C-alpha cells in the first residue's frame, strides 16, 4: 500500500503541518519507511531517502516527490548505514539541497529466516550492523542538524524481542538494542530539545516481513485482538503523531502498532514457517 493525495481527505491531520520541515529517512525506499515518508511529504515536509540501491532509491524519490506540488525529495543512493562516513555524505547532500534536517527515521533493516543452528556469526553480525549500528550511525551523522533544529528521531523497531520468536534471533537481538539505544538517547539528548522514540510495527499486510513469518494470514488475522491485519498507513499515522506538535512531550517511548498482537504472542502461536530453510535463505546465509 502506498499513499496518494486522498490521504489528505481522510486523515485527521492539518494540511501543511510539516511545512518548511525536512525528514531524513534510512530505508526510505522500503515498504514501511516509504509510506512513512509519503505521509510526511503529503503533509508539507520535504524529504531525503537513503538507500544502497541507486535505481530503486532514485525511482522512489521521484514517485514520492510527485505526490505534492512543489515537494522536493532527495535521493541519497549508494549509502551504507553501516558506514558513518557514508551517511555523513548523505546528510551533507540533504542539507545542501534542502537546507536542514528536522526529523530522522532510522528504518534501514536486514532480515531473513534462520534457525540458530544455521545462523552463522557473520549472518548474525550483518543484521546487527544494519539494524543497530546503522541506527546509531544515522543519529551520529544527523546530530548537528537535530541539535540546531531541536529535532526528533524515530527508530523503526519490532515486537520480536518481547518474547521468543524462532528464526528471528538476529533481528530480535538487534531490535532490542535499538530500543535501548532510543531510551538512552532520549535521556542524553532531551536537554538539547531532541526527542527520541521507537515505533514497533506488528503484523502489517503487504510487507516482506509478514510474508516470511506468517504462513496462514486468515488465521493470523483472527488472532489479532482488533481482528484485522495492520496496514502501512497505520504506521504512517503513528509516525505523523510522534513527529507532530501533539507529541512534543513524548520521548523515550516504544509506540507499538500491532492491534494488540504481542500481548498474545501471535508470532509464536502456530503461524510460523516450519523448521526448514528455503533455498533462497540458504543462499543468503552462504553469501553472509
Residues noted as catalytic: 157, 175
The candidate with the shortest Cα–Cα distance to 22, out of 78, 74, 62, is 74
Q: What b/e sequence results for 146-162 when a residue is b if at least 16 CB atoms lie within 10 Å of its CB, and e otherwise?
A: beebebbbbbbbbbbbb
| Residue 73: burial class (beta carbons within 10 Å; 0-12, 13-18, 19+) | buried
- What is the spatial order of strands in the sheet that 152-156 belongs to? 73-76, 46-50, 22-26, 103-106, 152-156, 195-201, 254-257
The candidate with the shortest Cα–Cα distance to 30, out of 179, 159, 155, 207, is 207
Pairwise CA distance, residues 261 & 203, whole Å: 8
Residue 29 has, within 13 A of its CA and on its CB side, a CA count of: 19
Amino acid at each position: 500500500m502506498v499513499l496518494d493525495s486522498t490521504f489528505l481527505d481522510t486523515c485527521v491531520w492539518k494540511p501543511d503541518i510539516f511545512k518548511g520541515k525536512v525528514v531524513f529517512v534510512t530505508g526510505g525506499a522500503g515498504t514501511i519507511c516509504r509510506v512513512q515518508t509519503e505521509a510526511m511529504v503529503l503533509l508539507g515536509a520535504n524529504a531525503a531517502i537513503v538507500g544502497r540501491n541507486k535505481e530503486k532509491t532514485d525511482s522512489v524519490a521521484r514517485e514520492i516527490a510527485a505526490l505534492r506540488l512543489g515537494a522536493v525529495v532527495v535521493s541519497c543512493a549508494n549509502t551504507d548505514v553501516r558506514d558513518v562516513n557514508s551517511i555523513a555524505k548523505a546528510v551533507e547532500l540533504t542539507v545542501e539541497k534542502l537546507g536542514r534536517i528536522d526529523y530522522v527515521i532510522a528504518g534501514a533493516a536486514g532480515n531473513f529466516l534462520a534457525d540458530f543452528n544455521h545462523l552463522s556469526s557473520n549472518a548474525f553480525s550483518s543484521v546487527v550492523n544494519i539494524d543497530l549500528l546503522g541506527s546509531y550511525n544515522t543519529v551520529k551523522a544527523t546530530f548537528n542538524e537535530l541539535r540546531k533544529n531541536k529535532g526528533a528521531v524515530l527508530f523503526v523497531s519490532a515486537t520480536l524481542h518481547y518474547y521468543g520468536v524462532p528464526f528471528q534471533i538476529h533481528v530480535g537481538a538487534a531490535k532490542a538494542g535499538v530500543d535501548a539505544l532510543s531510551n538512552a538517547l532520549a535521556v542524553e539528548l532531551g536537554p538539547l530539545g531532541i526527542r527520541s522514540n521507537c515505533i514497533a510495527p506488528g503484523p502489517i499486510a503487504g510487507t516482506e516481513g509478514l510474508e516470511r513469518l506468517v504462513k496462514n494470514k486468515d488465521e493470523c488475522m483472527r488472532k489479532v485482538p482488533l481482528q484485522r491485519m495492520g496496514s502501512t498507513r497505520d504506521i504512517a499515522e503513528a509516525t505523523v503523531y510522534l513527529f507532530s506538535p501533539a507529541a512534543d512531550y513524548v520521548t523515550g517511548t516504544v509506540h507499538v502498532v500491532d492491534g494488540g498482537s504481542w500481548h498474545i504472542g501471535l508470532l509464536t502461536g502456530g503461524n510460523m514457517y516450519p523448521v526448514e530453510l528455503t533455498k533462497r535463505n540458504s543462499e543468503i546465509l552462504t553469501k553472509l
